[in-house]
Amino acid sequence: MMTRKVEQSQTPMLEWVAAGIGLALIIALVFVIGREALRERESEPPSIEIKLGAIRQSASGYMVAFEAINRANGTAAALTVEGTVARGEKIIERSQATIDYVPGHGRAGGALLFSHDPRRYALSARATGFQDP
């Protein structure tokens, strides 16, 4: 009679550690996706702040870079940005730009074009309107 030796396989400890890390990552991923899906993101309207950047001379006058920063969850589409150069109460020139899309807690950039040098006047910019996507 012949006896067979049955080998008992043991799973190495490193495999258990890797499986545990993988399981933890999957649970964390499901939690984050589930939380985001259940939250009402669009209930809060966009809150747009315009930050002015560098002023450069261009072929047609002066270009003022800007960044539109959305501080809320809501999304803004077709965001209109208006910039003015003024001397005291008198507005010397207006410029307008439209940004297609600014996501919630996102940023988008653009430029306003002026024929007068904005460095010689009071320069300001603000968001004047948007659409719901």
Q: In this structure, is the dihedral angle defined by the CA atoms of residues 44, 49, 50 and 53, taken in order, positive or negative? A: negative
**Beta-strand runs (E) in 12-106:** 48-58, 61-70, 76-87, 90-102
pLDDT, tens digit, for every residue of 99-128? Answer: 999 998 999 999 999 999 999 999 999 999
Q: What is the pLDDT of residue 37?
A: 72
Q: What is the pLDDT of residue 133?
A: 81
pLDDT, tens digit, for every residue of 40-54? Answer: 555 688 999 999 999
pTM metric for this prediction: 0.67
Classify burial at 102, counting beta carbons within 10 Å of its beta carbon; exposed 0-12, middle 13-18, buried 19 or more.
buried
Label the pairing between strands 90-102 and 122-131.
unpaired
Which tokens belong to 115? 């024929």
How far is the C-alpha of 80 from the C-alpha of 129, rounded, in Å? 5
Whether residue 86 has pLDDT greater than 90: yes
Sheet containing strand 107-114, edge to edge, reads: 48-58, 61-70, 107-114
Residue 5: pLDDT band (50, 70, 90) is: low
Tell me how many helices (H) and strands (E) the chain has. 1, 6
Which tokens belong to 5? 């030796």
Whether residue 61 has pLDDT greater than 80: yes
Select the more confidently predicted residue: 63 or 73: 63
Give the 3-state secondary structure of residue 39.
coil
Question: Length of the chain, please?
Answer: 133
